[in-house]
Structure 1
Amino acid sequence: MSALEFDERTSRRIEATYLTADVVRQRRVVRETLALRPGERVLDVGSGPGFLAVEMADEVGADGEVCGIDPAAAMLAMAAERAGGAVEFRQAGTDRIPYPDGKFDVVVSTQVFEYLEDVPGALAEVRRVLRPGGRLLLMDTDWDSTVWRSNDDALTSRVLLAFEQHLADPRLPRKLPGVLAAAGFRDVRTSVLPVLNVGYAPDSFSEGLIALVSTFVPGRDGFTAAEVERWADDLRGLGDDYFFSVNRYLFQAVG
């Protein structure tokens, strides 16, 4: 597995994707599912460019607290600028979360655990900083659910298989209910959040994904930059016939 490098360029691309209607809707669903209350203490694991953390800070109010951790300095810089002091951000991974036992009422992590080599270890850390009876929400993608129309399905399958190399487990969601139970979480509930783009649009989630794929795949599995560019141009050229769908899965549990 060779992970994406979250440098300034990649971080800015991800930030742009987070501004699309698809991901704005995703954050709304996450917040509605969490149903945060004023005064709650929340940790965002893998807080990225900080959009969700800032929105949650508004919901918990002045008596609450939102903290975010992320290993990428470029992401943290964007998040801190966006939050303007409303959220505390720290550079850290899930191997050692830099907060004391039982500090948080809620822990949320979106599109992070599929990148982790040690999911049980990360869940142990999450459970440590979550108060007894606190709430956990994870969201991850099963990349087998991807449906992407192209004029060369074999090429698209090869490109997506190469892209999966940036993840530790591209099919993590199907395992998470059992892994959460084994980690001591209870009342595990699962729901699905599809992302659907019909007709090509430059401000969609899947266009952002095309850009990430085009950055990551060249040089892997024998792909040249020209081959990947041909793949991307084919998709973008479909116009009204463009079709993309992928499923993201939400897992709620009690610590």
Structure 2
Amino acid sequence: MDKTQTTGRTGDRTDALIALLDIADALPGAGELRARSYELLGVAPDTTMADVGCGSGRAVAEMAERGARAVGVDLDERMVTVARGRRPAMDFRVASAYELPFADGELHGYRAEKVYHVLDDPARAVGEARRVLAPGGRIVLIGQDWDTFVIDADDAVLTRTIVHARADLVTDPRVVRRHRALLLDAGFADVTVEVHTGVFTDATMVPVLADLAEGARSAGVISDAQAEAWLAEQRERGRRGRLFLALPLFVAAATRR
């Protein structure tokens, strides 16, 4: 996450984000998606890989297990503190996606998952990625389109309102639609895009749905009563095994010329 302070309310938000990321990392298919990103990166012994926006560091540890020299980078100091506490043997650094702590051409691979939607200048971040990658190095960008939560609910209009209102709180909610163009414009080659859709049908994803409702409520787009009723329905669906949430994740990969 691209933040500069981690005290007070900002620290509380980071802790809440860590909890959501932990849920996401443990979901069915999440491990397979991370493994696919390592395959696209070419993670192997004696390669140097960076995970930008590393969060609590799971991907860094998994790339290291595959023999790579893996470095985690995050601008949120609290996030890096948590990563270091959980994985003290790993290399984690506080730095911006715009100013990475690597020399020109130092990396064989650059990975960023669920990061570019919080950046105000994704093109600048891609340019910085190109700087730190060696010729032939690989980049992988993973993210969601915040307008494409597919949710079953009794009130379809209210559900669309909630999804779009939450998306509008994100710096760049639809940046994944531009990942391919950003990579091409920066001079990368062999650009590919894949989509991996998770389908969830139980209460595991209720905290994610609660985040959507709270975002729309805090923006003043829906009332407290609407948020509470919508979420109560989703909780009941989860309890009965009738919840339905589909979330596409897009994976863009390319080679540094």
Question: Kindly tell me: are residues 222 and 247 of structure 1, through their superposed partners in 2, closer, same or farther at Cα, counting changes over 3 Å?
Answer: closer
2:55 equivalent to 1:48: yes
Among candidates 155, 160, 172, match of residue 175 of structure 2 = 172
Other-structure match for 1:154: 157
Q: Which residue is 1:98 aligned to?
A: 101
Per-residue deviation at 1:226? 4.0
Distance 2:214 2:77 in 1: 20
Whether contact under 8 Å (1:162, 1:221) holds in the other structure is no
AA matched with 2:138: R
1:227 Cα offset (Å):
2.8
Aligned counterparts of 1:226 and 1:108: Cα–Cα separation in 2: 41
Q: Secondary structure at the match of 2:217?
A: coil
Equivalent in 6, 9, 13 of residue 16 of structure 2: 9
- Is contact 1:218–1:225 with CA below 8 Å preserved after alignment? yes
User: Which residue matches 1:242?
Assistant: 243
CA deviations 1:37-79 (Å, max 9, x no partner) are 111000101001111111011112xxx4111111222221221
The amino acid across from 1:130 in the alignment is: L
> Matched residue of 1:144: which SS?
coil
SS at match of 2:218: coil
Query: Identity over the aligned pairs, expressed in percent?
Result: 26
Residue type of the partner of 1:133?
G
* Preserved CA contact (<8 Å) 1:180 1:188: yes
Preserved contact between residue 105 and residue 135 of structure 1 (Cα < 8 Å): yes
Normalised by the length of structure 1, the TM-score is 0.88
Q: Does 1:76 align with 2:80?
A: yes
Higher relative contact order (CA closer than 8 Å, sequence separation 6+): 1
TM-score, with normalisation over the residues of structure 2? 0.87
Q: Which amino acid aligns with 2:203?
A: A
Aligned residues: 245
Shift of residue 214 of structure 1?
A: 4.2
Q: 1:87-134, CA deviations, whole angstroms, 9 ceiling, x for partnerless residues?
A: 211112212112211111000111111221101100111111111111
Counterpart-to-counterpart distance in 2, 1:33 and 1:95: 23
Shift of 1:163: 0.9
Q: Report whether the alignment pairs 1:36 with 2:39.
A: no
Alpha-carbon RMSD across the aligned residues, in angstroms, is: 2.1
